[in-house]
Structure formats: C-alpha cells, structure tokens
Amino acid sequence: MNTRYRMWLQQDGDPPHYARLVRNFLNDRFPNRWIGRGGPIAWSPRSPDLTPLDFYLWGYLNDTVYRERPTTANDMRISIENACANIPRNVLIRTVEHFQQRLQLCLQVGEATFEHLLP
C-alpha cells in the first residue's frame, strides 16, 4: 500500500454493515480508520445524511469514474484519484452552499424529514 495515502472507510448504520464478520474485516483492513456503527469512530445508525459525501460526492465520483469503465484495479484507482483531483471549484462551492441549506432545514424541522423541502 502506498504510504502517501491513508484510506479511510465510511459507512452508514445499515444492519448488514454491522455484522461481526464485517466489523472484524474492517478492523483488520482499516485499523482505526473506519467510520461506522460499532467502529472506532461512531456513525449514527439513523444518520440524516447531511454530509456532502453522502448527498453529493459519491454520486458525482461514480458518474465521473464510470464515464469510461475502468478495466483493472489500477485503472480504477487512477480514475478515482483523477476524478477527486479535478472536481471544479464552482462545484465545491455549490456543494458547501447546499450543505448549509441542508443544515438550516434540519434545524428548522427538528427530527422531521426535510428532503421534500429541498429545491
């Protein structure tokens, strides 16, 4: 593994992700570097998906990386690195602005759902 990059894994609280087998694997593969239910860094099982990673980045990267399907693991890694390095500045600014809107809506509705209120 390239020591220049320290990969972290983030997952939600979905029951299959909480299985002991999965947590043991993650503890071995990503020691103290995974975020999730039962992990070294806790993640709520009922997360409102407020983070820009959840509501935007994963979809953007998926679309960008799979524009031309990688054929090898190395192609995939290079494609992901290039996609991350080349996210346009205006896209990042809009994502932060949208994040702020989501936080405000979350505060306004308390524990209620707010996805239907988004533009």
Q: Model's pTM, two decimal places?
A: 0.55
Q: Are residues 31 and 54 in the same domain?
A: no
Domain containing residue 111: 48-117
| pLDDT 10s digits, 53-101 | 777 888 888 999 999 988 999 999 999 999 999 999 998 888 888 888 8
Domain count, the chain: 2
More reliable by pLDDT, 21 or 42? 21
pLDDT at 95: 85
| pLDDT 10s digits, 40-49 | 888 765 555 6
pLDDT at 8: 80
Q: Are residues 19 and 56 in the same domain?
A: no
More reliable by pLDDT, 5 or 32? 32
Q: CA–CA separation, 40 vs 26, rounded Å?
A: 10
Q: Are residues 27 and 58 in the same domain?
A: no
Q: Are residues 9 and 65 in the same domain?
A: no
Provide long-range contacts, Cβ within 8 A and 24+ apart, for 96-105: 96/52, 98/52, 98/55, 98/56, 99/50, 99/51, 99/52, 99/55, 102/50, 102/55, 103/50
Q: CA–CA separation, 15 vs 45, rounded Å?
A: 9
Contact predicate 9/27, CB 8 Å: no
Q: Are residues 108 and 64 in the same domain?
A: yes
Give the mean model confidence (pLDDT) for residues 106-118. Answer: 74
Residue 74 carries which side chain, given as an amino acid letter? N
pLDDT at 47: 58
Report whether pLDDT(30) > 80. Answer: yes
